[in-house]
Amino acid sequence: MVILSFGLLGMVGLQASALQVNHQARIQATAGSLAHELAEMMRGNKDVGLLAATDNPYLGQYSPSDALPVTPSYCLNVDPAATPCSSATEIANAQLTEWLTRVRAELPNAYVKICVDSAPFDANGTPRFSCVNTGAGATTVIKIGWSRLSTDRSATGASAIEQGTVPSLTLPVTPGNST
């Protein structure tokens, strides 16, 4: 009985660990899908997506407390009484508004930074939120971080949750064809 009970306890621990890893993988896949979706929106609206940082509504930094663009727009609403989008910039604002709303709903305490960056990783290969927007190889990058359980099994309480200070996902946005 003792041997059987130790075996069952081990299986329960393994099951709990498997559920946690499955949950983290599902969040990672959701973040990847959301980042890819935004990259495609930027490619589809390339006249706005290629604008300089000061004029490009896609570029910005968003924390859980301010997860909407500077100029939110709802002109893509399916309501027939809604005012339709009148410009490519307004379409970009509406796309970003809806995208950030989904990010906030699907990723726990998400931090998002969309910027032009030539060095999205530090010297150790660790992704970083800061952006170096000049130099060779500078391209638009989508960086997303979120709260997740620490991989340090000795961490307890608040230290067992990583707060998204390092991007968990970094996706470069390559330009589409110019024709």
Q: How far is CA 129 from CA 117, 122, 154, in A?
A: 10, 10, 27
User: Residue 161: beta bridge partners?
Assistant: 149
How far is it, in rounded angstroms, from Cα 104 to Cα 96?
A: 12
> pLDDT tens track of the chain, all 179 residues?
888 888 888 888 888 878 888 888 999 999 999 999 999 999 999 888 888 888 889 999 988 877 677 778 888 877 677 788 889 999 999 999 999 999 999 998 889 999 999 889 888 988 988 888 776 778 899 999 988 766 666 666 666 566 667 888 999 998 665 54
Strand ranges inside the chain, DSSP E: 60-62, 111-117, 139-145, 148-149, 161-162, 169-173
Collapsed DSSP state (helix, strand, coil) of residue 119: coil
